[in-house]
Structures are given as structure tokens and as C-alpha cells.
Amino acid sequence: MKRTCKQLLAISLLCCAFVAQAQLKPNDIIAANTLFADYGCAGCHDFSSKLVGPSLQEIAQRYKGKKDTVKIANVIRLGGQGQWGELAHPANEGIEKQNATLLAKWILSGAKQN
């Protein structure tokens, strides 16, 4: 019994370490907030209320636990439609791939503000 407890503890510690590693670094969070403002995302998306598009919280909630960074980065760059309602997401190919990926990771991990 004791041994099982120790094993469980070890497993949960490993999980914590893994989750911590998946989190964005403070500099990435600052960069993502800047991109979000600079690319006009904030005109259609709020952190917690629905505007033209879904709130960042809703998006993070819907994709929780799924590995959808690539898919979401593509919507941010190339546009998308039909996932949340009638309105389409505009394409914005001026965003570099790596910045779209950073925005996607930031949103999916809960969109922390600075």
C-alpha cells in the first residue's frame, strides 16, 4: 500500500513537471499580448466576453486537452468559418507562421495577460 502511494506521488510530480514545461515563458506571454493588440485581434476578440468572435476563454475551454495548435495557427493566418457561428474569421497572411503559432499556443493555454 505504502509503495503504491509513493508511486502515485512520483507519477503526479512527473505530470506537474510536464505541465509546467508546456507553459509559455514570460517573454512569450508579453510577445503574444503585443501581437494580439498589433494585429487588431482585440477588435473582434475579448478575453472573457463574446464580441464579433468568441472570447479567448471560450476558445481555450473548447480546445482544452486537445493538441490543436497547428489547426488554430492556420485559422489565425488563413481564416476559418463555421466553428462558432455564421461569421468568418479573416485571413491574415501578413502574420508570420511562428507568430501565428505563438498566438495559438497562448490562446490555447488560457491567454494570460501581462
Return d(Cα 84, Cα 104) in angstroms, integer: 17
73 within 8 A of 59, measured Cβ to Cβ? no
Task: Give the DSSP H or E segment for 9.
Answer: helix 2-22
Grid coordinates representing 62 are 473548447
User: Which of residues 4 and 48 has its CB atom nearest to ligand HEC in the complex?
Assistant: 48
Instruction: Give min distance, CB of 13 to ligand HEC, in A.
Output: 32
**Applying CB under 6 A, does 70 fall inside the site for ligand HEC?**
no
Tell me which residues in 73-102 interact with ligand HEC (CB under 6 A).
75-76, 80-85, 87, 89-90, 92, 95
**Applying CB under 6 A, does 111 fall inside the site for ligand HEC?**
no
Separation of CA 9 from chain center:
29
Residue with cell 455564421: 86
**Applying CB under 6 A, does 43 fall inside the site for ligand HEC?**
yes
Residues that bind ligand HEC (CB under 6 A): 39-41, 43-45, 52-54, 59, 72, 75-76, 80-85, 87, 89-90, 92, 95, 103, 107
